[in-house]
Chains A and B, each alone.
Chain A
């Protein structure tokens, strides 16, 4: 994997098959940026949770993948965008165990714990955008995994 991933990729989220594709693409991009295995797994898992939210609660949408470069640091930003009903009470939605979809209620709050930067922007009736960013850790020794 020598060629750096494209700066911005836009992947649709409209079916279960798309979720698998998003996971694969995120894993590939993260590996290409030199993320360790643990960080890769955490980011992919967070992406899986957020993409499923986009599909189940937002009624489908897309994810934008952007590779970031700040000096020597390299990162990956993922924006999950939907035009669904939005989240009425963000604090409640971020609570562990709170669910409206029959799941465990760990998706949103768990995803936040799995990544370094997390922002949620939701307007009732207009849609939700969740953006997460992770930076490749341990510059001198690329084999160190977790931050």
Chain B
């Protein structure tokens, strides 16, 4: 190795880029056995090696551009998706972000060893500069992986929130003309909008005369939740269905009274069974205890 431009940081970065390009194959072969790649690219080792080469290429690109510390360096763009998938896959396997960071840091050692071997003959200062540059670059890679894994996590959370909106509001047909919505969790504006929509749709589809809103699973009923309930009841009424709010626990009842909210216009019942009994009676349906079926006595 000639020591032509080893004085400038830019020169060192360029040299580092050259090294990464030359040793692409060896680095990739070593990385492919690291858990970060081995456990993500499980189909074949070749696949892992290819993935490693893509990362090495990106690093070489970044090094040549001299932006060793820049997370936004254009060189990373090519592998950002791949790194994101890797981080997401490790996260799903139950690894924390600091553990993933540790695994990325683990890629540094084999690369440093190769670099040391390659620059054996050059001056110790030059070797030092190259090692430092490579360490910085690997640190940046770690940041890039962290960044993608965080954004992948945020995406996941947003998606789950949407799923929750749908999952948590099933409308159940209890009887001919009677539907019920068991409400669970926090009833914020978005949730109550979904509840209202699906309930009104069900009233039309099922030709329901009675709709039961069960709030057993709602931990807190404050004035906003009460307002949402009242609006839903009023909307159902406009569609010709009577709403019954059930699942009002003693603590909730006392809280509503102290809060000063008047639910007097709404039919309420303590439990879902009471609400169903009310709706059945109103429709003139009598449920009687008939003779026991099956399991005849001998």
Q: Closest A-chain residue to B185, C-beta based? A: A20
Contact with A along B202-232 (1 / 0, CB 8 A): 0000000000000000011111101100000
Residues on A with C-beta less than 8 A from B219 are 23, 27, 44
Find B227's partner among A103, A109, A114 (CB 8 Å cutoff).
A103
Contact A41 B251 (CB under 8 A): yes
Residues on B with C-beta less than 8 A from A107 are 222-223
CA distance A110 to B188 in the complex (A): 19
Contact B252 A41 (CB under 8 A): yes
| Secondary structure of the B contact surface, majority rule | helix
Question: Is B34's beta carbon under 8 Å from chain A?
Answer: no
Residues on B with C-beta less than 8 A from A52 are 222, 224
Q: Closest B-chain residue to A102, C-beta based? A: B227
Contact B223 A110 (CB under 8 A): yes
Question: Is A6's beta carbon under 8 Å from chain B?
Answer: no
Assuming A23-B220, A41-B220, is B260 touching A106 (CB within 8 A)?
A: yes
Contact A114 B259 (CB under 8 A): yes
Question: Is A145's beta carbon under 8 Å from chain B?
Answer: yes
Contact A110 B261 (CB under 8 A): yes
Residues on A with C-beta less than 8 A from B96 are none
Question: Is A113's beta carbon under 8 Å from chain B?
Answer: yes
Q: Closest A-chain residue to B227, C-beta based? A: A104
Question: Is B160's beta carbon under 8 Å from chain A?
Answer: no
CA distance A20 to B218 in the complex (A): 12
| Secondary structure of the A contact surface, majority rule | helix
Q: Taking each of B188, B189, B222, B250, which has the highest tally of chain A beta carbons within 10 Å of its own beta carbon?
A: B222
User: From residue 170 to 208 of chain B, which have CB atoms closer than 8 A to chain A?
Assistant: 186, 188-190
Contact B220 A44 (CB under 8 A): yes
Question: Is B122's beta carbon under 8 Å from chain A?
Answer: no
Find A113's partner among B188, B221, B258 (CB 8 Å cutoff).
B258
Assuming A16-B188, A38-B250, is B221 touching A45 (CB within 8 A)?
A: yes
Q: Can you spell out 25 A-B residue pairs with CB atoms less than 8 angstroms apart?
A: A16-B188, A19-B188, A20-B188, A40-B251, A41-B252, A41-B254, A44-B219, A45-B259, A48-B224, A49-B223, A103-B223, A104-B227, A106-B223, A106-B259, A106-B260, A106-B261, A110-B259, A111-B259, A113-B258, A113-B259, A113-B260, A114-B255, A114-B259, A145-B251, A146-B254
The 7 A-B pairs at the shortest CB distance, nearest first, are namely A110-B259, A41-B251, A48-B222, A106-B223, A38-B251, A104-B223, A113-B258
Q: Interface on A for B, CB 8 Å cutoff? A: 16, 19-20, 23, 27, 37-38, 40-42, 44-45, 48-49, 52, 96, 103-104, 106-107, 109-111, 113-114, 145-146
